[in-house]
Structure 1
Amino acid sequence: MQNLEIGKDAPPLLPKVERQRLHDTVVDHLRRFIVEGVLEPGKKLNERELCETLDISRTPLREALKVLASEGLVEISPNRGASVSKMSEAELRETFELMSGLEAFSGELACERITAAEIAEIKALHYAMLACRAQNDLAGYYSRNQAIHDKINEAARNSALRQTYVSVNRRLQALRFRSNFQTPKWDRAIHDHEEMLEALDARDGKRLSAILRHHLLEKRDAVLSISASPESTS
């Protein structure tokens, strides 16, 4: 993966932060930097460079970093500053296993409770995802891919499940994004999503549950494969 540097000589990576809703906007921008690999796992965060990039002062930046630390995306040390969190192999395996169960349960409940309008919305996201795939737009593809999973979880209509799902998924988003760097992985994910739509249309909870569980465990294996490759450690 190509390293992207953040600094005053680099082109803007995202639009400048608007003053309105500053806190939420800074958190969203930094989260996106982490998910899309602009800020890679283990990278020490340079406050001055981030402030210049986002056109903000250190106070809102530090507040945003505290939020990301509470989500497990950033580690803050009193003596070393902040850095992007990096999961161990054991943490990665266990968290993906947990996520596969959460996704599977979401799918089972969603088939009982989803509305026709919600299925139509998910289908629209699927077709938008296909358009991004055709344009080789990984960021656009990933955002729609994740929106589909999110809509299925919302359709489960279980607030306790929702809270856990969001918390765990935040820790995995960057890894799930990376798992699509290889073209065959994109195409396999699209095939899985087509099967998900068929199961939703049929309100087949057991089938959708199995598809989602398998889908997440394949993501786990893809991430482990990337992590074990020589390029990932170079």
Structure 2
Amino acid sequence: MAPTPRKQVLADTVYDTIRQQLLEHAIEPGSKLNINALAVALDVSPTPVREALARLEAEGLALKRTLAGYTAAPLLSTREFDELFELRMLVEPAAAARAAEHADAADLDVLAGYLTEMRRAQAAEPHEALQSFVRHDALFHDRIAAAGGSALMRATLERLHAHTHLYRLYFREGIAEDTCREHERILDTLREHDPDAAAATMRTHLSRAHKRLLSTLP
């Protein structure tokens, strides 16, 4: 039997909250995820917490071990981080090329809005700035994947991005503005409906993002 709308909203809210805590390291990478403790902290029953952790396990943000319960996924090693970007370099330029062919005016307007919010975030208080920047960066990349029309490609990239954003807490001054400039170039190629240019600018952005984030790893 399908969940009622109210139960589904609650489950989604619990999932979003725990996911955000993982991405912001409010829940430390590698730490134990106690279902009952999380339920008490979020003032919910254990059921939506279990559902949330199952979804997070599917994304690779939580790990489940027999008789040991759930733990937050540890940060990737340098090698795993490199492999993550190798995968992004294979998939994301193709997603950008598809978006250049299929994006409509609404897609382009939404992407421009996300870029504006990323630039606006830089003037906010540091913690709030980080949250807003990371959120709109993720939304920018997700909208490109969505505009391309491949649900499988979009789902794959969503999981890869989650792991990338675990490292955003370590970004240094200058990364945000560099990212915004590169996003602007990507958006220009989408406006021109140029698949080859879109793929190339996305590839350049990912290569530079990899180097920037690699230099900030703890």
Q: TM-score range by the shorter chain?
A: 0.7 to 0.9
Query: Match of 1:101?
Result: 90
2:102 to 90, 95, 113: 113
Q: Structure 1, residues 140-198: CA drift from partner, whole Å, max 9, x if none?
A: 122112111111111111233223223333333323x335x311111111111121122
Q: Structure 1, residues 38-61: CA drift from partner, whole Å, max 9, x if none?
A: 123212224444223211232322
1:182 aligns with 2:172: yes
Identity of aligned residues (%): 29
User: In structure 1, the residue corresponding to 2:70 is in which secondary structure?
Assistant: strand
How far is the alpha carbon of 1:108 from its aligned partner?
Answer: 0.9
Equivalent residue letter for 2:173: T
2:164 to 155, 168, 172: 172
Equivalent residue letter for 2:195: G
1:147 aligns with 2:135: no
Residues 89 and 186 of structure 1, relative CA distance in 2, 3 Å threshold: same
Residues 40 and 211 of structure 1, relative CA distance in 2, 3 Å threshold: farther
Q: Structure 1, residues 58-111: CA drift from partner, whole Å, max 9, x if none?
A: 232223212211211111223333211122332221122111222111111111
Q: Structure 1, residues 116-137: CA drift from partner, whole Å, max 9, x if none?
A: 2221221122112211122241
Q: Structure 1, residues 1-47: CA drift from partner, whole Å, max 9, x if none?
A: xxxxxxxxxxxxxxxxx866222211111111111221232122244
Counterpart-to-counterpart distance in 2, 1:213 and 1:51: 42
1:64 aligns with 2:55: no
1:205 aligns with 2:195: yes
The number of aligned residues is 209
Query: Match of 1:131?
Result: 120
2:183 to 165, 190, 193: 193
How far is the alpha carbon of 1:224 from its aligned partner?
Answer: 2.9
1:78 to 66, 69, 76: 66
Counterpart-to-counterpart distance in 2, 1:148 and 1:109: 15
Equivalent residue letter for 1:226: T
| Maintained 8 Å contact 1:97/1:217 | no
Equivalent residue letter for 2:55: V
Counterpart-to-counterpart distance in 1, 2:192 and 2:103: 11
| Maintained 8 Å contact 1:178/1:223 | no
| Maintained 8 Å contact 2:172/2:216 | no
Residues 127 and 48 of structure 1, relative CA distance in 2, 3 Å threshold: same
Query: Match of 1:25?
Result: 13
Counterpart-to-counterpart distance in 2, 1:52 and 1:114: 44
> C-alpha root-mean-square deviation of aligned residues, in Å?
2.1
Counterpart-to-counterpart distance in 2, 1:203 and 1:93: 30
| Maintained 8 Å contact 1:100/1:214 | no
**Higher mean C-alpha displacement, 68-77 vs 204-213:** 204-213
Residues 158 and 55 of structure 1, relative CA distance in 2, 3 Å threshold: same
User: In structure 1, the residue corresponding to 2:208 is in which secondary structure?
Assistant: helix
User: In structure 1, the residue corresponding to 2:33 is in which secondary structure?
Assistant: coil
Structure 2 length as normaliser, TM-score? 0.85
